[in-house]
């Protein structure tokens, strides 16, 4: 499906095709989804309220309330043995600031309340830390990268060791951004779903994926906890064969992540059972004792579908197979 066609689709059709990727339409429903996934499969999860380009203070307050409620509700769940296995939460900085844009689409930074945005994020992250809940500060397009990194490091410096962030390999700047991260960090390594111009980003996906291996190795060598996020079986194998196995990295130093709705059940189960790593280690000398690999699903939820549509369109453009998943779910639903 062509990007221009996707952009032209009516919102109800976008919503229909994107449903396999959405964990629920409220915090209660997405928490229920996370609990079911853990009960059935023992998969971990991170929960993200979809929304961006906020236009009014009342909308900021709504998102702050959503995330405070998420942290409180997660902290009271009893089926999870510890704060690592219980759901974490993911948030986008653009949910906590009124966005002002220039005619070219860039941010009008002088008109935006960046300190207020940080205060909102700090409020959520510190509240979550008090309740032993992990948080990830998400990356958005290139206009948000510098603020997001500065915010993340500022949170770490404030003692919020429950917080992680994201590195997008498509951006040229990420190579230098690696140098700003240290052993306090937890980093999800992705190619990124935002289409960026060739002046600032790679356009070849193979190159982006190859850099996922290089950057992950660099981060692990620095003592960073790496969340390797991809649906590409070949690159999961490369990550394990080129980064984890040669360096005898134990399973408490990294995890594999995927998005809800992508049909990768076989490899997900093999990662969790230990079968996948056992097969790779066959005939090799290794001191890795625990072959089970922690696996986490990203569960976005649409508290307000209008706020979620921009995300859904980007996902359809990045992976047109979502349309096929939507049709499959419709045809085979009970």
Q: What is the pLDDT of residue 79?
A: 94
Distance (Å, whole) CA 153 – CA 225:
15
> Per-residue pLDDT for 323 more than 70?
no
HSE (CB half, 13 Å, CA atoms) of 163? 29
Q: What mean pLDDT comes out for the span 178-194?
A: 96
Assign 3 a pLDDT band (cuts: 50, 70, 90): low
Helix (H, G, I), strand (E, B) or coil at 150: helix
> What does the pLDDT look like over 209-218, one tens digit per residue?
999 999 999 9
Residue 200, φ and ψ in degrees, nearest 5:
-125, -5
Q: What is the pLDDT of residue 329?
A: 45
Taking the CB of residue 189, how many other CB atoms lie within 10 A of it?
26
Assign 5 a pLDDT band (cuts: 50, 70, 90): low
**Look-up: residue for tokens 């639903």?**
333
> What does the pLDDT look like over 91-145, one tens digit per residue?
999 999 999 999 998 999 999 999 999 999 999 999 999 999 999 999 999 999 9
Q: What is the pLDDT of residue 303?
A: 78
Q: Say if CB 300 and CB 308 are below 8 A apart.
A: yes
> What does the pLDDT look like over 258-293, one tens digit per residue?
999 888 999 999 999 999 999 999 988 888 999 999
Assign 2 a pLDDT band (cuts: 50, 70, 90): low
Taking the CB of residue 301, how many other CB atoms lie within 10 A of it?
24
> Per-residue pLDDT for 78 more than 50?
yes
> Per-residue pLDDT for 302 more than 90?
no
Assign 327 a pLDDT band (cuts: 50, 70, 90): very low
Enter the tokens of residue 55. 């236009």
Closest by Cα among 308, 254, 260, 222 to 43: 260
> Per-residue pLDDT for 196 more than 70?
yes
pTM (2 d.p.)? 0.90
Taking the CB of residue 233, how many other CB atoms lie within 10 A of it?
12
The secondary structure element, H or E, covering residue 332 is helix 321-332
The secondary structure element, H or E, covering residue 295 is strand 295-301
Closest by Cα among 41, 20, 51, 24 to 260: 20
């Amino acid at each position: 499906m062509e990007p221009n066609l996707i952009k032209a689709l009516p919102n109800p059709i976008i919503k229909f095709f994107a449903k396999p990727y959405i964990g629920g339409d409220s915090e209660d429903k997405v928490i229920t989804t996370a609990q079911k996934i853990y009960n059935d499969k023992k998969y971990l999860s991170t929960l993200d309220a979809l929304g961006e380009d906020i236009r009014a203070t009342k909308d900021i307050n709504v998102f702050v309330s959503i995330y405070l409620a998420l942290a409180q509700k997660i902290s009271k769940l009893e089926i999870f043995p510890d704060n690592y296995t219980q759901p974490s939460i993911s948030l986008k900085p653009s949910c906590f600031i009124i966005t002002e844009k220039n005619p070219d689409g860039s941010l009008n930074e002088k008109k935006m309340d960046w300190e207020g945005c940080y205060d909102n994020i700090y409020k959520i992250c510190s509240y979550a830390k008090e309740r032993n809940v992990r948080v990830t500060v998400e990356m958005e397009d290139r206009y948000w990268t510098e603020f997001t990194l500065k915010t993340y490091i500022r949170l770490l410096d404030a003692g919020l060791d429950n917080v992680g962030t994201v590195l997008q390999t498509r951006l040229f700047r990420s190579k230098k951004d690696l140098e700003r991260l240290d052993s306090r960090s937890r980093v999800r390594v992705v190619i990124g779903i935002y289409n960026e111009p060739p002046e600032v980003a790679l356009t070849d996906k193979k190159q982006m994926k190859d850099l996922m291996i290089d950057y992950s190795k660099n981060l692990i060598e620095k003592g960073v906890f790496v969340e390797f996020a991809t649906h590409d079986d070949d690159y999961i194998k490369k990550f394990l064969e080129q980064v984890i196995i040669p360096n005898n990295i134990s399973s408490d130093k990294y995890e594999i992540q995927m998005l809800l709705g992508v049909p990768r059940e076989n490899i997900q189960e093999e990662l969790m059972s230990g079968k996948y790593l056992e097969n790779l280690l066959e005939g090799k000398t290794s001191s890795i004792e625990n072959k089970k690999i922690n696996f986490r699903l990203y569960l976005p939820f649409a508290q307000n579908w209008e706020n979620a549509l921009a995300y859904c369109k980007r996902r359809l453009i990045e992976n047109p197979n979502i349309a096929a998943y939507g049709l499959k779910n419709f045809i085979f639903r009970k």
